Structure 1
Amino acid sequence: MSNQSKSNQARPRRSVLYMPGSNPRALEKAKGLAADSLILDLEDAVAVDAKSEARRLVAEAIKAGGYGKRELIIRVNGLDTPWGRDDIKAASEAGPDAILLPKVESAAMVKEAEDLLVENGAPKTTTLWCMMETPRGILRAEEIADSSLRLGGFVMGTNDLVKDLQARHTPMRLPILTSLSMCVLAARAAGIAVIDGTFTDLNDDEGLVASCQQGVELGFDGKTLLHPKQLAAANEAFAPSAAEVEHAHAIIAAFEAAEAEGKGVALLDGKLVENLHVEVAKSLIAQAEMIKELEA
């Protein structure tokens, strides 16, 4: 089953910022931040004794609105915890853009969550997203990606993944490169979004830029972030540059000129231009336009 027809997959997700659901000031501050998407977190960022209050605060924040065109995602606790089902009930009633499930390891886990969304009256526009952060989850990436027409995307949980693999955090992330690429492959095959994991050193600006660039090269749509100070780097890395947009227009113009002469390929700056290059160019221009609209 393919999710290619989902219109929400095309939206910009350069920067996906985690916000602790138990912090009212953070939830309010998020309304003015330059993030494409916000993950209002009920899981890792919330202490056990604050889970119920965080659930109430996040649901109220979603219902109250004021976040503009930012995509709103609620990360719930796992269904095997004491809070997961209540989280999904509250999130379904609040109606965010998406509900993010932690530690997904099978299609059955997605189906169980989907049934709860339906049972609790979640809007049809609320999609399900999956944290990909365990070895078993990575090995079943294709199965999970194809598990539901309601599935909107993958979010890489690279810290948990490194821990479970008994691997190491390295600048080039070679220990988890296979896992990252498997999830990109599965997501692209299913037509869903895929977001890179966090960069945890808030004082290493150069490292953050390099990690964002690697994410772009691997094919991710954007990057999850831990602090607003990381937003600018992700927004710049995952957006088409002015030069790229200009070149995209040149590709389209060159190909159209060649077609007018009855040719199937064009030559631009000594390089062949075929239909696939035109498709990429049009997609890049559309992305740049959507970013401009979002930032307005």
Structure 2
Amino acid sequence: MTETHIASQLRRRSELATPATNDRMFARAAASAADLVFLDLEDAVAPAFREEARGKAVRALNDHDWGSTVRAVRINGIDTRWAYGDIIEVLTGARENLDTIIVPKVTSARDVWWVDVLLTQVEETLGLSKPVRLEVLIEDVAGVANAESIATASPRLDALIFGAGDLSVSQGARVDTNFKPRDSYPGDFWHYARMKVLTAARIGGVLAIDAPYPDFRDGDGYANDARHAASLGFSGKWAIHPSQIDIANEIFSPTEEEIQRATRNLEAYREAEARGLGATSVDGQLVDAAHVKLALAILSQAGIATTL
């Protein structure tokens, strides 16, 4: 499956994190403009409450109207004692009201395979017809090294997520609480890891989602981070606060100017092709097959269905 095909079906401009223990946030999350909301059973929940949080997540999934928002849960890592229970209890309780499971700290393709197999068994036991989708976090040096095999490990996979927080620890990086280098650094500190995740995602035909930005009061900083990721080719970014949703949705959507330009280029190329030409020009600029692919990608990101 190609990335263009994936992008024509999925929008993941913003993925909102919501602690599964915070009942007061569920209604607001469900009513938000986020493309995906995930109820977090992992880092946002104290270990003593992680089993109790499963039931809260199930009630949130079942009791609220989520509209078109993708309903997701982040389970605990498969190296913990909670992972299998997270999958079995939440899926058994929520059934068709759970769309996606986010798997943290994935270090190899085998991690994804383990979740895939368990999901298949639970789905068959419950008689569910809609398979649960997967997104996985690349937030460990081993995960970065194995990103390509992870991206192709399961047909359930929709996205790779770059996680700078735990990667900072795994890498031994000297960063501040916003995952920025404490000392001066020549360029983007996370460029290598970001490009590894992005490249692997494209190889696997899945989306690439950028890391969270912890300082939710710094809207300009979040926007700058998002623009940088969007320029590289990321499809969206995590939001740890509702104030970040609109910023992500705007930045990871094509502008009206981009849409108009893509439409003009596509129409001009079709006209040229009908005359037996393999290239043409628009506003004094070359338009060939590569520009057509770019135009189709932009229109797909905008949710505009078209074919060449």
Q: If the length of structure 2 is used for normalisation, what is the TM-score?
A: 0.88
Contact (CA 8 Å) 2:3, 2:207: kept in 1 or not?
Answer: no
Confirm or deny: 8 A CA contact 2:4 2:300 kept in the other structure: no
Q: Is the 8 A contact 1:240 1:288 kept in 2?
A: yes
1:162–1:176: 8 Å Cα contact kept in structure 2? Answer: no
Corresponding residue for 1:262? 276
Partner SS state of residue 80, structure 1: coil
Residue 294 (structure 1) aligns with: none
TM-superposed deviation, 1:215: 0.7
Q: Indicate the larger mover: 198-207 or 7-16.
A: 7-16
CA RMSD of aligned residues (A): 2.2
- Measured in 1, the distance between the counterparts of 2:106 and 2:154 equals 13
Deviation at 1:257, TM superposition (A): 2.1
Q: Deviations over 1:215-249 (max 9, x none)?
A: 10111110001100111211111001111111111
Q: 1:102 aligns with which of 100, 104, 112?
A: 104
2:137 corresponding residue in structure 1: 131
Instruction: Identify the residue that residue 287 of structure 1 maps to in structure 2.
Output: 301
1:5 CA drift (Å): 9.5
Q: CA deviation at 1:75?
A: 0.3
The within-5 A match list for 1:231-246 is: 231-246=245-260
Matched letter for residue 106 of structure 1: S
Alignment of 1:116-265 (within 5 A): 116-121=118-123, 123-167=129-173, 168=175, 169-170=179-180, 174-265=188-279
Q: What code does the residue aligned with 1:170 have?
A: K
Q: With structure 1 as the length reference, what TM-score do the two structures score? A: 0.91
Where in structure 1 do 4 or more consecutive aligned residues deviate above 4 Å? 2-9
2:105–2:138 CA contact under 8 A, matched in 1: yes
2:150 and 2:286 mapped to 1: Cα distance? Answer: 38
Structure-2 separation of matches of 1:7 and 1:289: 12
How far apart are the structure 1 equivalents of 2:129 and 2:143?
A: 27
- Asked if the contact 2:99/2:133 (under 8 Å) is kept, the reply is yes
**Unmatched segments (≥5 aa) in structure 2:** none
Match of 1:50 in 2: 49
> How far does the alpha carbon of each residue in 1:120-150 deviate from its partner, in whole angstroms, 9 at most, with x for none?
1265431122111000111000111111222
Any idea what SS the aligned residue of 1:263 has? coil
1: CA distance between counterparts of 2:252 and 2:143?
A: 26
SS in 1 for 2:106: coil
The alpha-carbon deviation at position 202 of structure 1 amounts to: 1.7
Q: Bigger shift: 121-130 or 219-228?
A: 121-130
C-alpha contact (below 8 Å) 1:11/1:290 kept by paired residues: no
1:28 aligns to 2:44 (yes or no): no
2:144–2:196 CA contact under 8 A, matched in 1: yes
Pairwise CA distance, 1:102: 1.0
Instruction: Name the CA shift for 1:236/1:8 in 2 (closer, same or farther; >3 Å).
Output: closer
* Counterpart secondary structure, 2:189: helix
8 Å CA contact 2:6–2:205 kept in 1: the answer is: no
